[in-house]
């Protein structure tokens, strides 16, 4: 009698927001980057992907993937690369121990849910591929370390490799042609600098115009300034940022974060035709952060923008009244403020032009902090019968 | 009896809009640039400064300057440098010919009027200093060539040196410490490529946030990408642009114009703190030009932005229906369209998002073309009695 059992495992995985940005591939097939990068992993209490990987000989329709309730292609090269790499590792285990069930030969059924809007510049593909890889690794009971799994996740989505860790994470670009040294590693765990906070101003939840996958290669191909970024600017930012994180030097952390975001968006603007991810709301958020720092007389807040108009503002818990209060004053009508934050008062009064641009363009805020890497969970999106659980 | 005669001379001078941008000084006192630049001189029928220079032993209040009806400082180092250089040349003439009146010793009274808004990113300081220098040169009957006068105008405002010529003008950065080789020269006269047209979308006539004088030195001091612009990008753009102008190759002219504008604004965005001259209206104008070129199947329009949100669009007269018609459709309510242009029809329909952003942000258009350098005129802003003429 055939083994028709449904095997399953679930994990959550976090979003990460880079403070030294990944932008540009030197190998598009293997997702090998033109430069190293560093990110902060955000708390999964606020932003996370939940993924259940299951497999069963009874799955007659081959591998499948459901994202946020919608069937999704598994035939893409990136997803296929992840499946292939993970199955190869499972095959190795099965070959070494014949008592193991032959999961590697069974169709996979993957079901995944984000608790935040997809493709709005909130790094959903990073959390998504990290969760997919970790969930299958759990299902297959792979002994691989997070760095080893990061090699696989990287092939799904470059920045996904950084979501295999919590805290402060570096993706080392490596220099080998096969990409075997292009992996993520831990700069410092969340507990090293646990008072790091992030406020996200969601400027738009519309799908962005130019995908980062396409945009970054247009930059590589056409920006005259880009070479300087990858050969000079980023290597220097990597060093300064690692030092800043290790020393918990917020002012240094903030300056590199802001400068690197600016450098990345400058290279987008220098792309031909130019790519603009930031809009007038984004620029108002920059001016707001500058006002907060000017009023404080020191750098207590840092802005950064991924491939979209949303502003992520890093700050430390002890500066919450000043930083958060400046925004609650002008954005008290939008959703997402946590209990108690509306009552925070700040000495900063944003000028009218900044305040009205923020009011016009920010639809929602997300208050979060630094968090842990993927967490195994007993919450399943595939039932014991192999059917996707409906919510 | 003292000579109380009022001596006077008038000139007009044009605005120029760079297609390879000047941004950054290597010597702030002498206004020596970090890179060469090329501009198109716009027609004075639409945009010009009119300046009368006068002098008289009867002027008891010293040197004075009136701009657009308002008294203006003459004590600034830049204005002083122009006065000093011009007086020195006049002194030389007077020393060689004792029959000449001693104008160099008389106080100067300068009155100047623009026919367009000041300091809105419309290169008013360029036209202003070119007119000031040319008017005094006329008053002093200096034999200096436009290139020689460009050396003086450059000390008033860098880009002013290019407004001493009509047509297509290069400012050669030079390499001498005293700046004696940092001069403008003619790439081609207006008559070489007379069908060049410019449409200016005036996105805002508000004074700009960061002056170009201050902004460019912030870029020099803080942008990590800027070195690449001045050492690699601009030298290549200068060569390609000169070739394109000489060959009247519009597609090449347009691509360099757009890429160089993008590179300049990218360096502004990479400045710390970042400088943003373009806004959402400016970006809509870029998308409009891209739509026009896509629809035409070739490059028939080129955008460029100086240190402000206004978009200058270069095109050739033969493409007027397609280029102009795309904008008249969505901006038929704004002022500045010339007779007949409202009836122009284009095959280009701008998409709704672009159209509405343009409608929201463009307050006025200016239709103009390539034009001549400074013109001596008998129109005076100072009467024979030495009094400023009121309008």
The predicted model gives B2-25 an average pLDDT of: 95
On chain A, the residues whose CB falls within 8 A of the CB of B360 are none
* Structural contact between residues B183 and B161, judged by C-beta atoms closer than 8 angstroms: yes
In 10 A of CB B374, how many CB atoms? 29
Q: What does the DSSP 8-state code read for residue B306?
A: -
Of the ranges A332-341, B160-169, B335-344, the best mean pLDDT one: B160-169
Using alpha carbons, list the distances in angstroms from residue B102 to B7, B59, B64, B106, B132: 11, 14, 18, 7, 20
A269 contacts B262? CB cut-off 8 A: yes
Top residue of A209, A225, A361 to mutate, by most chain B CBs within 10 Å, is A225
On chain B, the residues whose CB falls within 8 A of the CB of A233 are 224-225
Q: What is the C-alpha separation between B248 and B225, in angstroms, rounded? A: 31
Chain A nearest C-alpha distance from B263 (Å): 5
Chain B nearest C-alpha distance from A271 (Å): 8
The predicted model gives B79-87 an average pLDDT of: 98
Using alpha carbons, list the distances in angstroms from residue A160 to A80, A146, A163, A210: 15, 12, 5, 19
Q: What is the pLDDT of residue B293?
A: 98
- Predicted confidence (pLDDT) at residue B118 exceeds the cutoff of 90: no
User: For chain B, what percent of residues have pLDDT higher than 70?
Assistant: 95
Q: What is the C-alpha separation between B322 and A4, in angstroms, rounded? A: 66
Top residue of B218, B224, B237 to mutate, by most chain A CBs within 10 Å, is B224
Confidence of residue A125 (pLDDT cuts 50, 70, 90): confident
The predicted model gives B158-166 an average pLDDT of: 97
Nearest to B270 by CA among A278, A260, A290, A236: A260
User: For chain A, what percent of residues have pLDDT higher than 70?
Assistant: 96
Q: What does the DSSP 8-state code read for residue B268?
A: H
B227 contacts A233? CB cut-off 8 A: no
Q: What is the pLDDT of residue A180?
A: 97
A263 contacts B270? CB cut-off 8 A: yes
- Structure confidence by residue, pLDDT tens digits, A80-116: 999 999 999 999 999 999 999 999 999 999 999 998 7
Q: Which of B225, B283, B290 sits opposite A225 (nearest CB)?
A: B225
Q: What is the C-alpha separation between B97 and A173, in angstroms, rounded? A: 74
Q: What is the pLDDT of residue B121?
A: 58
A270 contacts B263? CB cut-off 8 A: yes
- Predicted confidence (pLDDT) at residue B119 exceeds the cutoff of 50: no
- Predicted confidence (pLDDT) at residue A207 exceeds the cutoff of 60: no
Q: Of A120-129, A194-203, A229-238, B127-136, which range is least confident?
A: A120-129
Q: Of A120-129, A238-247, B130-139, B166-175, which range is least confident?
A: A120-129
Chain A: residues touching B (Cβ < 8 Å): 223-225, 227-229, 232-233, 236, 255, 258-259, 262-263, 265-267, 269-274, 276, 279-280, 283, 286, 290
Confidence of residue B347 (pLDDT cuts 50, 70, 90): confident
The nearest alpha carbon in chain B to A302 belongs to B273
On chain A, the residues whose CB falls within 8 A of the CB of B269 are 262, 265-266, 269
Q: Which of A227, A262, A271 sits opposite B269 (nearest CB)?
A: A262
Q: What is the pLDDT of residue B187?
A: 98
A227 contacts B224? CB cut-off 8 A: no
* Structural contact between residues B6 and B224, judged by C-beta atoms closer than 8 angstroms: no
- Predicted confidence (pLDDT) at residue B215 exceeds the cutoff of 50: yes
On chain B, the residues whose CB falls within 8 A of the CB of A272 are 255, 258-259, 262
Q: What is the C-alpha separation between A215 and A200, in angstroms, rounded? A: 23
Nearest to A158 by CA among A179, A189, A187, A186: A179
Classify the phi-psi angles of A324: left when phi > 0, otherwise alpha if psi is within -120 to 50, otherwise beta: alpha
On chain B, the residues whose CB falls within 8 A of the CB of A301 are none
Q: What is the pLDDT of residue A124?
A: 76
* Structural contact between residues A113 and A12, judged by C-beta atoms closer than 8 angstroms: no
- Calculate the average pLDDT of chain B: 94
On chain B, the residues whose CB falls within 8 A of the CB of A203 are none
Percent composition of chain B: helix, strand, coil (DSSP 3-state, to 5):
40, 20, 40
A286 contacts B274? CB cut-off 8 A: yes
Gyration radius (Cα) of chain A, Å: 21
- Structure confidence by residue, pLDDT tens digits, A295-354: 999 999 999 999 999 999 999 999 999 999 999 999 988 989 998 776 677 889 999 999
Chain A nearest C-alpha distance from B38 (Å): 19
A224 contacts B229? CB cut-off 8 A: yes
Top residue of B269, B288, B351 to mutate, by most chain A CBs within 10 Å, is B269
- Predicted confidence (pLDDT) at residue B342 exceeds the cutoff of 60: yes
Q: What is the pLDDT of residue A119?
A: 46
**3-state class (DSSP) for residue A340:** coil
Q: What is the pLDDT of residue A118?
A: 58
């Amino acid at each position: 009698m055939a083994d028709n059992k449904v095997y399953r495992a679930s994990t959550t995985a976090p979003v990460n927001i880079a403070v030294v940005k990944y932008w540009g591939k030197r190998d598009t097939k293997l997702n090998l980057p033109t430069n190293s990068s560093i990110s902060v992993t955000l708390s999964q209490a606020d932003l996370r992907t939940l993924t259940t990987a299951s497999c069963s000989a009874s799955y007659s329709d081959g591998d499948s993937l459901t994202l946020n309730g919608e069937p999704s292609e598994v035939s893409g090269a990136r997803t296929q690369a992840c499946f292939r790499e993970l199955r190869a590792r499972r095959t190795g285990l099965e070959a070494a121990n014949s008592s193991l069930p032959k999961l590697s030969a069974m169709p996979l059924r993957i079901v995944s849910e984000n608790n935040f809007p997809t493709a709005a510049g909130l790094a959903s593909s990073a959390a998504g591929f990290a969760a997919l890889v970790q969930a299958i690794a759990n299902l297959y009971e792979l002994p691989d370390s997070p760095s080893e799994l990061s090699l696989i996740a990287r092939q799904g989505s470059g920045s996904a490799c950084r979501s295999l860790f919590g805290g402060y994470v570096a993706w080392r670009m490596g220099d080998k042609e096969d990409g075997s040294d292009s992996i993520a590693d831990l700069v410092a765990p969340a507990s090293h600098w646990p008072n790091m906070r992030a406020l996200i101003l969601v400027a738009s939840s519309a799908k962005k115009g130019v995908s980062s996958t396409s945009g970054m290669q247009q930059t590589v191909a056409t920006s005259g300034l880009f070479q300087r970024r990858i050969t000079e600017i980023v290597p220097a930012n990597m060093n300064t940022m690692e030092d800043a994180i290790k020393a918990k030097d917020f002012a240094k952390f903030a300056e590199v974060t802001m400068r690197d975001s600016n450098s990345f968006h400058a290279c987008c603007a220098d792309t031909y035709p130019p790519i603009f991810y930031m809009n007038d709301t984004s620029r108002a958020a920059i001016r707001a952060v500058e006002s907060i720092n000017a009023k404080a007389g020191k750098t207590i807040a840092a802005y950064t923008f991924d491939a979209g108009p949303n502003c992520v503002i890093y700050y430390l818990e002890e500066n919450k009244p000043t930083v958060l209060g400046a925004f609650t004053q002008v954005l008290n009508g939008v959703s997402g403020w946590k209990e108690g934050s509306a009552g925070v008062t700040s000495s900063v009064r944003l000028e009218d032009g900044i305040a009205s641009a923020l009011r016009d363009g920010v639809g929602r805020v997300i208050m979060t902090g630094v968090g842990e890497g993927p967490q195994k969970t007993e919450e399943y999106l595939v039932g014991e019968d192999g059917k996707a659980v409906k919510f």
